[in-house]
Chain A
Amino acid sequence: MSAGPAMVVSASRRRIDPDPSFTRAFAELAPRLPGSDRQEIAALRARSLARFTELGIPTQRDEAWKFTPVGRIVNRPHAADVPAEPPLERILPHLLGGPKARRLVFVNGRLVPQWSHVGGLPEGAAIESLTRALERRTEAVAARLARDDGRSFTALNAALAASGAWIELAPGVVLSDPVQLLFVTVPGASAPMSHPRVVLRLGSGAALTLLESHVGLEPGPALTNLVLEGELGEGASLAHDRLLLQADEAALIGKVELVLGARARYDQTTVALGGSLLRSESEVSIEGEGVECRLAGLAVPRAGEHVDTLVRVHHRAPASHSDQLFKSVVEERGHHAFAGKIFVHRGAQRTNAYQKNDNLLLAEDGEVDSKPELEIYADDVKCSHGATCGELDPSALFYLRARGIDATTARGLLIWAFASELLDRLGDRTARAAARRALAARLPTGALVDEHEDAA
């Protein structure tokens, strides 16, 4: 605190005036931000920054930010253009989706063209970096950036977004190979920040596997402020694997907001395995019948790490199905906060909506906060929610030990068993393997876990 400017807390104490470094970074970057040669984009960005300053950084008095120590981590000087050139061998382990995957790679918010390729797309498919999209479809991107959801980090993202992508599939276009968006963070002399904006538009019957990776290569303060939004048309299908693998001291604040049309299928699996502060918000709006929406997540915070999972599923149409399964394994000084809400709006009859949050609390100084909620305005629905928090099952531990397996290995096996259910939900095989490696590195019995994989 002593090095930085004093924190100013507004009278309501529900927001903190943002660190001036955001404004400074904007002033410095504005002329170079993509689309800045267009007057309407430049103006839109300036308005967004003003909106961010007006909204401020939420405090823990704000219900939606109750458990997120966001001011402590975010409200410090960050720079939006920290150059870094990591060697390819550090990147290779994070290239997912197999040899035919298309991908965009960003380092500290800057596209790396030599590692990115999106060629050979079928007719009706577009995968463009945000920069390119702002050139080719200025108005459509502007309309997205202009949307105000009353959330300061969305406004900050609109002001500073330089990375990210526009992904659009025309009706009926099915991409059989995955698309990866890889966001790499490498801290330098100053703490880097990046504000990726991703827009997804899947026409009716279109299908995509999206691999979204956030990777920190070195420990150090850094901020990623992501907004991913879009629509799935009728019968469209999106498998969305998310790997949040930030380095120590780094923060990621992300919001996913999707609208699902009739008979759309959306499968999201978020794996949070690294970073001082990970906040993952998902807001899904089901606007047609026959939708299948599955949201899942695993968090394994330890050693001062904080993971916040916020999920809101809106059923606005009848006869759709949503299912949430979120788990955490909390080790010493780790903190996981889960808040999930299912809204069944008026008229959304025959909704099936489930939510489950299971937590393994393995240390006395770890913390789990769970807040599952239902809000139902229809009478013919099947909904349930539940949360558990506990230690490893003593009878399972005894069973394994009574067969000769030592206590440490037995614990490792049970933790792995608890967590791996979530990894199995990742749609892409390479994403699953990467998540297994990251999880194994966090468990005391990591090597054993690799054997397990071989045996499987």
Chain B
Amino acid sequence: MLEIRDLHVAVEGRPILKGLSLRILPGEVHAIMGPNGSGKSTLAHVLAGREGYEVTSGSVTFGDEDLLALEPEERARAGLFLAMQYPVEIPGVANMYFLRQALNAVRKARGQDEIPAAEFMRRIREQARLLGIGEELLKRDLNTGFSGGEKKRNEILQMAMLEPRLAILDETDSGLDIDALKTVADGVNRLRSPERAFLVITHYQRLLDYIVPDIVHVMADGRIQRSGGPELARELEERGYEAVLGGRLAA
């Protein structure tokens, strides 16, 4: 589904990703862990198409498409979703209106008709209920005045509505208390299916107690340094990045 080959990315001329390779198959949940500054969020942003990142070499294939040649909206319509670490507050754009626009754009790209208003309302209420998002929050402007936890839940709500093929969760656990973490993880787990893949980016192991990955990668210095099963995450938690990576951890 996603094939990253020897990806090199620079920001303002400074290399951040230095030869990253990763292959994700449908139905798999991959976790990327790594210390601050290892390039985790850069990877998420590059995959979603954010400006300001220069791909100096390497390739990313999504399905059978050259992902890096697509605009951000084309990537979303092709089935890629990025749950952001810092969801942007957009006053003046109503949460539900925005989500209906987004869903219809994605459906159109899939050759589907616009979603009927009643069905949209039924689905969004159902998903909101599962994620513990109140009606009042749905009616507000996009992320505006939301708490950190509410923003993260709203990201998962969008993911549930847009039904992506590949969802990237960028530090979705940051700033969540344990109850919110469980709610968010349940939301992700409900969406797990043989056709859908996840890339979970996190600094801490605790999210992976709830979203149990198939494969864990440890990233440092712009590259994947080690890969393994879920036990690798626990090893990291116990021994720390330094000990696990040995001399490979850049200063």
Contact = CB atoms under 8 A, between A and B. Distances in A.
A143 interface: no
A452 B94 contact: yes
A169 B137 CA distance: 43
A410 B98 CA distance: 10
B105 interface: yes
A104 B96 CA distance: 41
Interface in B33-87: 48-51, 71-73, 75-77, 82, 84, 87
Given A416-B92, A417-B92, A455-B94, A406 B87 contact: no
B102 interface: yes
A148 B82 CA distance: 64
Contacts of B96: 455
A225 B32 CA distance: 67
A409 interface: yes
B91 interface: yes
A435 to B, nearest CB: 15
A405 B92 contact: no
A456 B105 contact: no
Nearest to B109: A404
Main secondary structure of the interface of A (DSSP, over half): helix
B218 interface: no
B189 interface: no
A417 B106 contact: no
B193 interface: no
Interface residues of A, number: 28
B90 interface: yes
Interface in A405-456: 405-407, 409-410, 413-414, 416-418, 420-421, 448, 451-452, 455-456
Contact of A407 (B71, B94, B158): B71
B93 interface: yes
A404 B50 CA distance: 13
Interface residues of B, number: 33
B94 A420 contact: no
Contact of B102 (A394, A395, A403): A403
A421 B82 contact: no
B71 A420 contact: no
A396 B142 CA distance: 10
B97 A452 contact: yes
Interface string B109-139: 1000000000000000000000000000000
A123 interface: no
A402 B105 contact: no
A452 B76 CA distance: 22
B101 interface: yes
Contacts of A452: 94, 97
Contacts of B103: 404
A71 B158 CA distance: 55
Contact of A417 (B50, B76, B84, B90): B90
Contacts of A416: 92-93
B90 A414 contact: yes
A456 B97 contact: yes
B88 A405 contact: no
Given A404-B77, A405-B105, A420-B92, A399 B87 contact: yes
A402 B47 CA distance: 10
A402 B82 contact: yes
A395 B73 contact: no
A406 B105 contact: yes
Contacts of B165: none
Contacts of A406: 73, 105
A396 B88 contact: yes
B91 A403 contact: no
A403 B158 contact: yes
B97 A455 contact: yes
A52 B109 CA distance: 64
Interface string A387-405: 0000001111011111111
Contacts of B184: none
B143 to A, nearest CB: 9
Contacts of B102: 400, 403-405
Given A396-B90, A402-B73, A451-B97, 15 more contacts: A396-B88, A399-B87, A402-B76, A404-B73, A404-B109, A404-B162, A405-B73, A405-B98, A406-B73, A406-B105, A417-B90, A417-B141, A421-B91, A455-B96, A455-B97
Interface of A: 393-396, 398-407, 409-410, 413-414, 416-418, 420-421, 448, 451-452, 455-456
20 contacts: A398-B50, A399-B87, A401-B73, A403-B73, A403-B99, A403-B105, A403-B158, A404-B77, A404-B102, A404-B103, A404-B162, A405-B101, A407-B73, A413-B101, A416-B93, A417-B141, A420-B92, A451-B97, A455-B100, A456-B94
